[in-house]
Amino acid sequence: MQSLLDRFLKYVRIDTQSAVQSGTHPSTPGQLELARLLEKELWQLGFSKVSLSDKGYLMAEIPANTDKNIPTVGFIAHLDTSPEVTGKNVQPQVFADYDGGDLMLNQAINLTLKVRDFPELSHYQGQTIITSDGTTLLGADNKAGIAIIITALAGILAQNNFEHGRLAVAFTPDEEIGHGADYFDVAAFGADFAYTVDGGALGELEYETFNAALAQLDIKGCNVHPGSAYMRMKNANLLAMELNAMLPPQERPEYTRDYEGFYHLTNLQGNVEAAQMTYIIRNHDRGRFESKKAFLKSCVDFLNSKYGPKTVSLHMQDQYYNMKEKIDPVYHIVTLAELAMLKEGVTPLIKPVRGGTDGARLSYMGLPCPNIFTGGHNFHSRFEFISLESMHAAVRVITRIVQMLAVSDPKSTGEPPRC
């Protein structure tokens, strides 16, 4: 596990936080810095056809070492970290042989990772836990995925007697801001199917995501002196509050779970003259997703009928769709990962993603792409942590997937059919 740990600690120290408003691709220069480091590392390890595009997409492959007709499987992770918490000057901390209690992250700012607040922490007693120093996020999302993929495939390269088909790998920019698949060349990647290694706790295996839309609202008010405002003023701030109050409060993220969708107000700013609101709309069910969008539009229409045409302008666009629709016809790739986990002593936890992955868009681009765990918790947070043992389990699962695909007669061993 030492090479896995060393890689991970090296990667997280590079600031790759993406930026929504940058207007470039990748959105930040640190992502290219990490990509260039990985490009060099892949060449040194013996990967073939290593290429880095000007958009920040790093691809490579390991050629097949057999004449068998084995499908090409790909493994994908993203370079960037969340814009929600800084990724600058990450100082990882390694807690070996964790004792099961609270972890002091930073005494200077009195920040403690408490079992009371994060009870799942206690499940890792005796393992090696990695955190930041509490002033930044850690970056396990998704540098753990990068370290896992490289460690697994480097291990396969090092074994001369390990039979395998063609293996493809890609590291993408700007997943956290929804642009990870914008310039992904599916044809050049050349995989029959792939797995994003971007999940959370040990055993997570996901092939369902939200359907997702972004809604931006511009509200025009009318500002006059409050002393002479009678029947003349339209306060854009109050109109924004009125619109938000029309949406069902039980359909906010903090009150939903499992397959329940939501409206999430992510940005609100304004004054009497003008206000801007941004919502993300999410639902696993396509019909309910469309109903949510239609309801928001009806709220806008109502306010415009009440306060005058074009008082509220709505700009809404779909972001991605539930990849279940594209995975169901090739469900055996989920079964393959599930069986690989079982063979490695990992209990599969098949659950819907309450979010999205690059795999959602890639699945609609012709590359079916379920999601595999990395072992991390509390992503996008100063309280992010990951177990080294869980990361190593993901390395073993990837290795097992590749091994199982090379079985000459899958039916005789109980393996799933090939893609």
Contacts 24+ apart (CB under 8 A), 291-295: 292/251, 292/261, 292/263, 293/213, 293/215, 295/247
DSSP per-residue string spanning 81-103: B-TTS--TT---EEETT--SS-E
Amino acid making up residue 318: D
Burial class of residue 232 in the structure, from the number of CB atoms within 10 Å of its CB (0-12 exposed, 13-18 middle, 19+ buried): exposed
Q: Which residues contact 161 (CB under 8 A, 6 or more apart)?
A: none
* Calpha distance 23→19 (Å, rounded): 9
Active-site residue among 80, 141, 176, 192? 80
- Contact between residue 189 and residue 358 where contact means Cβ atoms under 8 Å apart: no
Residue with tokens 């969008």: 293
> Helix (H, G, I), strand (E, B), or coil: what is residue 265?
strand
- Contact between residue 26 and residue 180 where contact means Cβ atoms under 8 Å apart: no
Amino acid making up residue 194: A
- Contact between residue 210 and residue 264 where contact means Cβ atoms under 8 Å apart: no
> Helix (H, G, I), strand (E, B), or coil: what is residue 254?
helix
- Asked if 80 is an active-site residue, the reply is yes
- The torsion angle over the Cα atoms of residues 320, 324, 330 and 335, rounded to 10 degrees, is 120
How are the residues of the chain apportioned to helix, strand and coil, as percentages rounded to the nearest 5? 35, 25, 40
Q: Which residues are tagged catalytic?
A: 80, 175
